[in-house]
Copies of this chain bind each other. A is one copy, B any other.
């Protein structure tokens, strides 16, 4: 018996870890195996080939590292850069802040471009810096595609255009933790050199696998990068890829089978349909927020995130209370406001294996919590706004037509 038992299902709407499909839970419901016998290398080989599709790359080399997103960040940085290297990084929320902190503590020389929380990366300043950097002292531009703390999606194509415009050779490193497999992401087309995500986000697996994909320029850089590394060293992986055994150390058997099932599901739905589904769910959530008369933390439409919405509460309400109450009364898990926006926003994660009715349940739950904390919400208003839009746009389920 769980210590915090509640009747009915838990409604998991934090922006990660997200709901795992039953199909995937079943696939992982298994004993360990010898990872040196033929099945695991055969399975891994297929996964490495297939996982490239979610990055939309044919030239990248993926690494499935037994770690979290934080470890994936470290892998991206230490394999491509040397201590003292100048990076340009955007501070726009809690996760970009943490990545910047990591860059600093890993001894890179971080050139921070800060924006107000709720805004996207300031690409004008980036353009200025790139333009000014004739000496190519900037070794990497590091950007969080989707800032999970504020629900802000950055424009990666624009970053690439800036680098191209000035023919700047800086590496383009992208945190796609809360975007890849949910938002439009095109590694090859946008010339991303390293992209990464974590298994517990849009892939809808348990935590435990950092998925890093390195383009040819990044692999080349790894040959001379001087950062001290061992566990995260791509070179060890590459050595075992050549041997056909694939693993420098023991992988999680369960996560590998789970990833197979997760990719199967994504390909069954179609990656672009998955992205379209997230787009609809994101839009529906924003319509609800508007109907409630509340503000989106994201300041401009161009930055609206389709995986997470940070909702600003009126000053007389503590958003932490909303999150607590949602869990204590409705078995509904919402995301807290973090750091600068703690107490000021709560977050609705709408990514991963999720459908319209699930989201509408969540929105109905949020309405009840808002009422609980004294916000004068009209019951049904947000749900109605969202469902009116969804009913208009949701396709029939292809396998059921």
Contacts and interface: CB of A to CB of B under 8 A. Distances in A.
Interface of A: 1-12, 14, 16-20, 22-23, 25-39, 42-43, 66-71, 74, 83, 102, 105-107, 198, 200, 206-208, 227-233, 248-255, 264-265, 268-269, 274, 277, 327-333, 335-336, 353-358, 360-365, 367-368, 371-372, 378-385, 387-388, 390-391, 394-397, 399-401
B19 A400 contact: no
Contact of A360 (B32, B69, B383): B383
B354 A330 contact: no
Contacts of A379: 383-385, 387-388, 391
A355 B331 contact: yes
| Stoichiometry, copies per complex | 4
Contacts of A395: 329
Contacts of A265: 1, 5, 7
A206 B32 contact: yes
Contacts of A9: 9, 19, 22, 355, 358
Contacts of A251: 207
Contacts of A360: 360-361, 364-365, 383
A69 B396 contact: no
Contacts of A381: 380, 384
B387 A364 contact: yes
Contact of A361 (B206, B254, B361): B361
A273 to B, nearest CB: 8
Contact of A331 (B83, B107, B357): B357
A20 B32 contact: yes
A26 B17 contact: no
Given A4-B42, A329-B395, 8 more contacts: A1-B264, A12-B32, A66-B71, A66-B207, A208-B252, A328-B397, A360-B365, A380-B381
11 contacts: A5-B23, A5-B397, A6-B399, A8-B355, A25-B31, A32-B206, A66-B67, A68-B249, A71-B231, A227-B228, A360-B364
B39 A17 contact: no
Contact of A105 (B230, B250, B362): B230
B26 A30 contact: yes
A169 to B, nearest CB: 25
A332 to B, nearest CB: 6
A335 B36 CA distance: 9
A130 B43 CA distance: 48
Nearest to A380: B384
A31 B11 CA distance: 11
Contacts of A207: 32, 66, 250-253
Contacts of A17: 32-35, 250, 253
A186 to B, nearest CB: 22
B356 A330 contact: yes
Nearest to A258: B254
Q: Which 6 A-B pairs have the closest CB atoms?
A: A380-B384, A361-B361, A8-B355, A360-B364, A380-B380, A17-B32
Nearest to A75: B231
Nearest to A104: B230
A269 B22 CA distance: 25
B39 A3 contact: yes
A330 B396 CA distance: 8
Contacts of A25: 29-31
Nearest to A325: B396
B70 A249 contact: yes
Nearest to A74: B231
A66 B208 contact: yes
A292 B384 CA distance: 13
A2 B39 contact: yes
Contacts of A365: 356-357, 360
